[in-house]
Amino acid sequence: MKVKKYQASSMQEAMKKVRADLGKQAVILQSKTIYTGGFLGLFKKKAIEVVAGIDPNPRPEVKEKLRTTPVVEKKQSAVPAINNAEVLAKEVKELKKILEQYSRNNKITFEGIPEELKPPLLTLKEQEVSTDLIIELKQALLSKWQESKGHVDQQQSVIWAKEWLLNKIKPLQESPLQKKKYINIIGPTGVGKTTTLAKMAADSVLEKGKKVAFISTDTYRIAAINQLKTYADLLKVPMHVAYKAEDFPEAIKQLEDYDTVYIDTAGRNYRDERYVKELKNMISFEEEVESYLVMALTSKENDLKEIIEKFSLIPIEKFIFTKMDETKTHGTLLNLMCHCQKGVAFMTNGQNVPDDLMEVDAETIVDIMFGENV
């Protein structure tokens, strides 16, 4: 597939350029607003940038097929449908590769940026913060620089950057944690849900003096039940296992007198839609249930976005990120917060229960993004 990029002052003008260059069969693959010209990143003009493509070997039009072989098309209608589906799937896959390649090539540049403003931008880039967020910060810093008439040093630019980021994520962090009685921990396999749940429960018992209980719906792994049972014994709290949907309301009934009930769910392949549906059918997500989605910071960002999408059937209060100590970059955390408009409840940086559990606020996340010890 032939792919080219075009710039114009409006979408109509961009379409004219595309059709003149690639013809009527051209397809718009991506479009976005950009800013061009200006001085030192200021006074830029708004423009439209589009990525268009054309298949060098297009399939014959349907009307031509119907004219030349009408009988064959009618009798074998099922066969072309299958073939067309396969071709379409192949083209979609190819299109995704093209867009990913374009995204990689569309890297942020700091050309024309005053040297004093570069340190915070470079820091976030090293943390693998998304290009969109860095560009947004760049424009904010340039505005501050203009207001100060260029009288700024690197230390001040970092302060500005932290203030900007703090204001951006603070609304996502303001809602209180564990405000409901039933705390539901969900997520894919291998992210440390049971250990995280135990850390949260231990904090509730040892630090807050709450009356706590466990419910496990993870009947797929005996080891998971045994692990949670071990934690329950250590904390001297009751544990119930819901083997089927009917068991869950009964467990809830027996735990009416407890302050907080932690629910441990099965960690299965999140791509299996049945898993999330079974989970939704098992647990009644009423007003007293609060769900946290647990994800590992060591996972690929695109995979984490897919995980969030798959679990979107369930009302998610906030994210919990595990394995913070196993990666040097933490930009994914910020990217997902801004992309999904969800806050972060906890992070874990080890396996020790209950020590390696960190409740985070907006200030803590800002410090993490700028590489400061927390």
DSSP assignment of 147-197, as one string?
A: HTTT---HHHHHHHHHHHHHHHHHHHH-SPSS-SSEEEEE--TTS-HHHHH
Low-confidence ranges of the chain (pLDDT < 50): 40-41, 59, 61-81, 101-106
Q: What's residue 239's pLDDT? A: 94
Residue 107: predicted pLDDT: 58
- Would you call 151 exposed, middle or buried from its count of C-beta atoms within 10 A (0-12, 13-18, 19+)? exposed
- DSSP-derived letter for residue 232 is H
8 A C-beta contact, residue 374 and residue 358: yes
CATH classification code of 182-369: 3.40.50.300
> Do residues 205 and 235 make contact, with C-beta atoms less than 8 angstroms apart?
yes
Query: What pLDDT, on a 0 to 100 scale, did the predictor assign at position 318?
Result: 95
Query: Where are the domains positioned within the chain?
Result: 2-97, 115-173, 182-369
List phi, psi (to 5°) of 32. Answer: -160, 160
CA angle 84, 85, 88 (to 5 degrees): 85
Q: How far are the Cα atoms of 45, 56, 92 from residue 15, in angstroms, in the given order?
A: 19, 19, 22
Name, in order, each residue with C-beta under 8 angstroms of 135's C-beta and a sequence gap of 6 or more: 108
Residue 211 · residue 342 · CB < 8 Å = no
DSSP calls for 263-308 = EE-----TT-HHHHHHHHHHS---TTEEEEEEEETTS-HHHHHHHH
Helix, strand, coil in percent for the chain, rounding step 5: 50, 20, 35
Instruction: Calculate the alpha carbon distances from 180 to 7, 222, 258, 360 in Å.
Output: 51, 28, 12, 19
Say what angle helices 154-173 and 331-340 make with each other, to 10 degrees.
Answer: 50
Instruction: Please tell me the predicted confidence (pLDDT) of residue 364.
Output: 94
* pTM, rounded to two decimals: 0.68
Is residue 3 within a helix (H) or strand (E), and if so which, with residue range? strand 2-8
Specify the pLDDT at position 221.
66
Cα–Cα distance, 306 to 142 (Å, whole number): 34
Q: Give the helix/strand (H/E) hosting 206.
A: helix 193-206
Q: Measuring CA to CA, which residue among 49, 54, 161 is closest to residue 106?
A: 49
Residue 157 contacts residue 120 (beta carbons within 8 Å): yes
d(CA 299, CA 62): 44
Nearest alpha carbon to residue 51 among 100, 78, 18, 94: 18
pLDDT digits (tens, 9 = 90+) for 218-255: 766 667 688 889 999 999 999 998 888 788 888 989 99
User: What's 312's DSSP letter?
Assistant: G
pLDDT at 85: 64
Quote the pLDDT of residue 283: 74
